[in-house]
Amino acid sequence: MLGSESQYVQYLFSGLTLGSIYALIALALVVTFNITGIFNLAIGEFVTIGALAAVTLRDVGCPNVLAYILAVIVAGLVGTLMERATINPARKASVLTLIIITIGVSIALRGAALLIWGTHPHTLPAFVHAAPLNFLGAVLIPQSLFVLGLAVVAVGLLFTFFDFTFTGKAVRAAMMNRTAAQLVGINPARLSLFAFTFSGVIAALSGIFITPITTATYDMGFMLGLKGFVAAILGGVTNATGAIIGGVLLGVIEAFAAGTLPSGLKDAIAMIVMIVVLLTRPTGILGER
Amino acid sequence: MGSKKNLLLIVIAIVVFCLPLIIESSYYMSIFIVIGLYAIVAEGLGLLMGYAGQVSFGQAAFYGLGAYAAAILATRCQWPPLLCVCIAPLLPSMVAFIIGRPILRLREHYLVLATLGFGIFVYVLFKDLGTLTGGPSGLTGIPYLNIGSLTLVTDQQYFYLVWGALGLTLFGMANLTRSPIGRVFKAIHTSERAAEAVGIDTASLKLQAFVLSAFLAGLAGALYAFWVTFISPSPFGFTSSVEFALMVVVGGLGTLWGPVLGAALIVGLTEFLRWAVPVALPNAGGEFEIIFFGIIFVLIMLFRPKGLLAIEKSSVAMSHPTTLRSTDA
């Protein structure tokens, strides 16, 4: 029997683990939204494709690390292709049209994943084979540390990129004010391409890192993508830092709520969080009014 | 012009009336019933999207609330089925009334996400309120509908019932959209701010459209429950909500017949792909025909973003200013 304190630590660990994944997806969504004005509802499918491509590449004999790198490239290319084939031609269309386009792409990609990988769950091995750690009476799976590490490193690299490279500064400028960025000669079409490719890369990394814990199925991305949206809304869709905080917060809220409520309602909690935030403070925790 | 239109309507009515007499296969009969049910939902959503200028990606929740309300009243409370059909749509209407005002204050992406989140929330409730809804395995033993001493059993009878309800819906919509209120809706759709500036209470009208769309979805859900006599959560999920929205958009926003055409196209396309894809690719299992479903929608959105019944050329429609503008406001 776990003491209540260690139980809370346990919730915190699992909340932080999944929360890191939500945070990464939310980050990709926020970057995309601020550059292009589009909510990419197909992002969950990028997670799926990254994870399952890694599974297949390992099956055909690629060493682990190579398989993961190639899988990330595959998902990035899917993002590139999606932007070129569907978003760029419709860039002047209405918001509703663009949303339906991303939903259409997500349906098509989910169908493709079902065709290629079937309905049964796939898995990837944990990155290291070590015994679970004990911490204040709670159990911490080593893979969770990798997920947390991925979030920290990815966020660190991204902010470095934003601050110290020319492209990064252009992205940041476009995120702050699209029209002004265009006026000073930043090409919105190239940035849009960057946003979707970047989303594919980040989403694939998230998928590959979380699969050893959750396993991977063709439809895993749907809920993960939605949670990414909830996280982005919670943190404020105009704010990259907000997306990260929103993701971690959502993960922790979910873990604590799931520990006390019937487990099936876990997915409902995220939706309640989103609706409450949208109705009370639609700009999110960190968003500007 | 007017008499031509009336002639066309009479022809359509006769064709619809004759369909069950010609079609013997119960498979095709059930497809037409589903088209009728979805068209009722889509007509309501069409009012909301095409006239009031709002969006809902959670309409399947209202459809499901109607179905579950009817099923629970009929099985657990033993109410007479016809009374259930009349009462059940009030539940989604009430829910829409309660959530409508705050939710409809949101715009564009936020409205999409809020309605989508609401839809998934309700779907999870269907699955997890096991004692009330029967959980994932659903509710069985819903009686057939009876009107007086006539008990509706066959698909033919349900076809007439559903398409009769659709006919009434279309009649009501035609009158509503031609009435002063309909013109006010058009004004909101064109520019909410301009409508407000001339003194229209847009918030209350948007709410009315939302409640009416929920009522129609609930009515279709209740009819569905008595037709199949068994309901489970699966037809009321996110995918259905997306399909309803697609029916409206594909058919043509702001048109009377667009949602019906959209419902027929989407149900027809789903069934066609379900048949054609395994023929073309016999070795693969699962419902992967959704690949083509997704691709077709992307193509329609790219080339006919205002829907198939829209009059404008697509190049104009690509930058149309009226629907849900992508401004930063």
B292: which chain A residues are within 8 Å (Cβ-Cβ)?
Answer: 108, 111
First to last CA, chain A: 47
A90: tokens are 């419709």
Contact B234, B63 (CB under 8 A): no
Query: Cβ of A111 and B124 within 8 Å?
Result: no
Evaluate if residue B70 carries a pLDDT over 80: yes
Separation between Cα atoms, residue A194 and residue A181, nearest integer Å: 15
Evaluate if residue B324 carries a pLDDT over 50: no
Separation between Cα atoms, residue A171 and residue A190, nearest integer Å: 10
Neighbours of B328 (CB within 10 A): 8
Which stretch of A113-122, B199-208, B318-327 has the lowest confidence by average pLDDT?
Answer: B318-327
- Give me the percent of chain B exceeding a pLDDT of 70: 91
User: Dihedral of CA B304/B306/B307/B313: which sign?
Assistant: negative
From the list A95, A99, A275, which residue is nearest B117 (CB)? A275
Separation between Cα atoms, residue B302 and residue B46, nearest integer Å: 20
- Give me the percent of chain B exceeding a pLDDT of 90: 31
Indicate the SS3 state at residue A122. Answer: strand
Mean pLDDT along residues B285-300: 79
Q: What pLDDT, on the 0 to 100 scale, is given for residue B49?
A: 87
DSSP notation for A210-274? HHHHH-B-TTHHHHHHHHHHHHHHHH-TT-HHHHHHHHHHHHHHHHHHHHHS-GGGHHHHHHHHH
Q: What pLDDT, on the 0 to 100 scale, is given for residue B193?
A: 82
The DSSP output letter for B299 is H
Is residue A41 included in any domain, yes or no?
yes
From the list A86, A119, A282, which residue is nearest B110 (CB)? A282
- Cα torsion for A124, B234, B296, A187, to the nearest 10°? -60
Query: Cβ of A108 and B295 within 8 Å?
Result: yes
Separation between Cα atoms, residue B12 and residue A201, nearest integer Å: 52
Q: What pLDDT, on the 0 to 100 scale, is given for residue A1?
A: 44
Q: Give me the domain span that covers residue A159.
A: 4-125+138-280
Mean pLDDT along residues B217-244: 91
Contact A2, A137 (CB under 8 A): yes
A250: which chain B residues are within 8 Å (Cβ-Cβ)?
Answer: none
Evaluate if residue B311 carries a pLDDT over 60: no
DSSP notation for B193-260? HHHHHTT--HHHHHHHHHHHHHHHHHHHHHHHHHHHS-B-SGGGSHHHHHHHHHHHHHH-TT-SSHHH
Helix runs in A122-187, H state only: 142-164, 166-176, 178-183
The DSSP output letter for B305 is T
Separation between Cα atoms, residue B329 and residue B65, nearest integer Å: 34
Is residue A130 included in any domain, yes or no?
no
From the list A112, A226, A262, which residue is nearest B128 (CB)? A262
Overall residue count recorded for chain A in this entry: 289
Which stretch of A110-124, B218-232, B281-295 has the lowest confidence by average pLDDT?
Answer: B281-295
Q: What share of chain A is helix, strand, coil (3-state, %, to 5)?
A: 75, 5, 20
Contact A40, A32 (CB under 8 A): yes
Q: What pLDDT, on the 0 to 100 scale, is given for residue B284?
A: 61
Q: What pLDDT, on the 0 to 100 scale, is given for residue A163?
A: 85
> Tens of pLDDT along B145-182?
887 778 888 888 889 999 999 999 999 998 888 888 88
What angle separates helix B202-228 from helix B59-75, to the nearest 10 degrees?
A: 50
B285: which chain A residues are within 8 Å (Cβ-Cβ)?
Answer: 118-119
Evaluate if residue B327 carries a pLDDT over 70: no
pLDDT tens string for chain A (289 positions)?
Answer: 445 778 888 888 889 999 999 999 999 998 898 888 888 999 999 999 999 999 999 999 889 899 999 999 999 999 999 999 998 888 888 888 888 899 999 999 998 998 889 888 998 888 888 888 887 778 888 889 899 999 999 989 988 888 888 888 888 888 777 788 888 888 888 888 999 999 999 999 999 999 999 899 998 998 899 999 999 999 888 888 889 999 999 999 998 888 877 666 777 888 888 888 888 887 777 766 5
Classify burial at B21, counting beta carbons within 10 Å of its beta carbon; exposed 0-12, middle 13-18, buried 19 or more: exposed
Q: What pLDDT, on the 0 to 100 scale, is given for residue A162?
A: 84
> What residues does each domain of chain B span?
28-318
What's the predicted TM-score (pTM) here?
0.87
* Optimal mutation site among B99, B124, B312, interface A, most CBs of chain A within 10 A: B124
**In angstroms, what separates the C-alpha of A232 from chain B's closest C-alpha?**
11
Residues 6 or more apart whose Cβ sits within 8 Å of residue B234: none
Residues 6 or more apart whose Cβ sits within 8 Å of residue B125: A268, B133
Q: What pLDDT, on the 0 to 100 scale, is given for residue B326?
A: 40
A52: which chain B residues are within 8 Å (Cβ-Cβ)?
Answer: none
Evaluate if residue B98 carries a pLDDT over 90: yes
Query: Cβ of B103 and A108 within 8 Å?
Result: no
Separation between Cα atoms, residue B66 and residue A272, nearest integer Å: 21
Kindly report the CATH number assigned to the domain that includes residue A48: 1.10.3470
Is residue A287 included in any domain, yes or no?
no
Evaluate if residue B254 carries a pLDDT over 70: yes
* Optimal mutation site among A33, A39, A84, A115, interface B, most CBs of chain B within 10 A: A115
Report the candidate in A223, A185, A219, A261 with the shortest Cα–Cα distance to residue A114: A219
Evaluate if residue B220 carries a pLDDT over 90: yes
More confident residue, B320 or A278: A278
Comparing alpha-carbon positions, the chain B residue that sits nearest to A268 is: B121
Separation between Cα atoms, residue B101 and residue B95, nearest integer Å: 11
Q: What pLDDT, on the 0 to 100 scale, is given for residue B163?
A: 93
More confident residue, B283 or A202: A202
Q: Which CATH architecture has domain B28-318?
A: Orthogonal Bundle (1.10)
Separation between Cα atoms, residue B257 and residue B9, nearest integer Å: 11
Mean pLDDT along residues B198-219: 90
Looking at chain B, which runs of residues are DSSP E strands?
A: 146-147, 150-151
A272: which chain B residues are within 8 Å (Cβ-Cβ)?
Answer: 121
Mean pLDDT along residues B102-114: 86
Query: Cβ of B112 and A99 within 8 Å?
Result: yes
Indicate the SS3 state at residue B146. Answer: strand
ipTM: 0.85
Neighbours of A163 (CB within 10 A): 10
Evaluate if residue B314 carries a pLDDT over 60: no
B257: tokens are 């017949």
Separation between Cα atoms, residue A93 and residue A97, nearest integer Å: 6
Domains in chain A: how many in total? 1
In whole numbers, what is the pLDDT of chain B averaged over residues?
Answer: 84
Is residue A32 included in any domain, yes or no?
yes
Mean pLDDT along residues B287-302: 82
Mean pLDDT along residues B324-329: 39
From the list B249, B285, B319, which residue is nearest A92 (CB)? B319
Report the candidate in A161, A159, A150, A192 with the shortest Cα–Cα distance to residue A23: A150
Contact B139, B71 (CB under 8 A): yes
Contact B188, B205 (CB under 8 A): yes
